[in-house]
């Protein structure tokens, strides 16, 4: 997938989608990324938005390592640009661990299913 195509991805992605994008990016030649600096920069910003806006909810000890690797990779790629295209705060957001989130917000809780109103005789009925 090319960088331009990645820009069409949803703003908030499932963590598996984020991981897929990260793997794609890390497999691209650095010269290609440098030649497409604006698109690359926008894509990293979008990926950070997704990760901090929803990806954190799916972060586990099992999948956090790819984000740590990505942060290290971003630092390496940044050195190939005349001026850094990814700010340190953005890179640091990919270094947030599951344990960091637990310390900040408490342990993950299962999401309660919506009540099945059809099975609840006391549920309000639609009145036409």
DSSP string of 5-26, one letter each residue: HHTTS-SS--HHHHHHHHHHHH
List the chain residues with pLDDT less than 50.
Answer: 114, 117-120, 127-128
Number of domains in the chain: 1
pLDDT of residue 109: 65
On whether residue 1 sits in a domain, the answer given is: no
In-domain check, residue 56: yes
State pTM to two decimals. 0.81
CB-CB contact of 13 with 50 (8 Å): yes
pLDDT in tens, 9-34: 998 999 999 999 999 999 999 999 99
Q: Is residue 88 part of a domain?
A: yes
- Residue 7 in any domain: the answer is no
- How is residue 83 written in tokens? 């001026």
42 lies in a domain?
yes
Distance of CA 106 to the CA centre of its chain: 20
Cβ atoms of 81 and 34 closer than 8 Å: yes
CB-facing half-sphere around the CA of 42: CA atoms within 13 A: 12
Decide if 94 is inside a domain: yes
Contact 98, 59 (CB under 8 A): yes
- pLDDT reported for residue 112: 52
Within a domain: 120 = no
For residue 82, the enclosing domain spans: 14-22+31-108
Separation between Cα atoms, residue 73 and residue 69, nearest integer Å: 6
Helices (H) and strands (E) in the chain, counts: 7, 0
- 67 inside domain: yes
């Amino acid at each position: 997938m090319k960088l331009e195509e990645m820009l069409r991805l949803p703003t908030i992605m499932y963590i598996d989608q984020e991981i897929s994008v990260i793997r794609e990016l890390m497999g691209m030649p650095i010269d290609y990324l440098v030649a497409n600096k604006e698109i690359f920069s926008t894509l990293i910003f979008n990926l950070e938005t997704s990760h901090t806006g929803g990806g954190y909810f799916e972060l586990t000890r099992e999948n956090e390592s790819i984000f740590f690797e990505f942060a290290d990779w971003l630092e390496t790629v940044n050195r190939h640009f005349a001026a850094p295209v990814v700010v340190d705060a953005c890179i640091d957001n990919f270094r947030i661990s599951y344990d960091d989130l637990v310390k900040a917000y408490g342990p993950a809780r299962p999401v309660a299913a919506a009540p099945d109103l059809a099975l609840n005789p006391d549920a309000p009925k639609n009145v036409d």
